[in-house]
C-alpha cells in the first residue's frame, strides 16, 4: 500500500509541474487578451471586463488561465 501512495504522489507531482510550465508559457497570452479586451468596444470583448483597479487585468488573466488550462489535463 505504501508503494501505491508513492507512485500516486509522484504522478501528482509531475502533473503539477507540467501545469506550472504550461501556465507560465500561456499566461502572457491570457494577459495580452485581457489587455486587448480593455481597449475594444464592449460588444467585441473576448472576456468580460469588470470595473476595478489597474491590477484587475492581472487577475482577469489569472482567472482565465486557471479556468482554461485544466482542460489540457482531461483524459
What DSSP state is assigned to residue 45? -
Q: Which residues contact 69 (CB under 8 A, 6 or more apart)?
A: 19, 22, 23, 26
Is residue 58 within 8 A of residue 31, CB to CB? The reply is: yes
For residue 34, what are the domain limits?
2-73
pLDDT of residue 50: 63
Residue 62 has what pLDDT? 92
What is the pLDDT at residue 32? 93
Split into its structural domains, the chain has a count of 1
- In order along its 75 residues, the chain shows pLDDT tens digits of 444 455 667 778 888 899 999 999 999 999 998 888 877 777 776 666 666 555 688 888 899 899 999 888 777
pLDDT value of position 31? 93
**Which long-range contacts (C-beta less than 8 Å, at least 24 apart) are formed by 37-46?**
none
CB 33 within 8 A of CB 3: no
Amino acid at each position: 500500500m505504501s508503494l501505491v501512495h508513492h507512485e500516486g504522489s509522484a504522478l501528482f507531482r509531475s502533473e503539477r509541474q507540467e501545469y506550472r510550465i504550461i501556465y507560465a508559457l500561456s499566461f502572457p497570452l491570457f494577459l495580452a487578451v485581457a489587455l486587448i479586451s480593455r481597449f475594444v468596444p464592449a460588444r467585441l470583448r473576448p472576456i468580460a471586463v469588470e470595473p476595478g483597479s489597474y491590477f484587475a487585468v492581472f487577475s482577469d488573466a489569472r482567472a482565465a488561465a486557471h479556468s482554461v488550462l485544466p482542460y489540457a489535463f482531461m483524459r
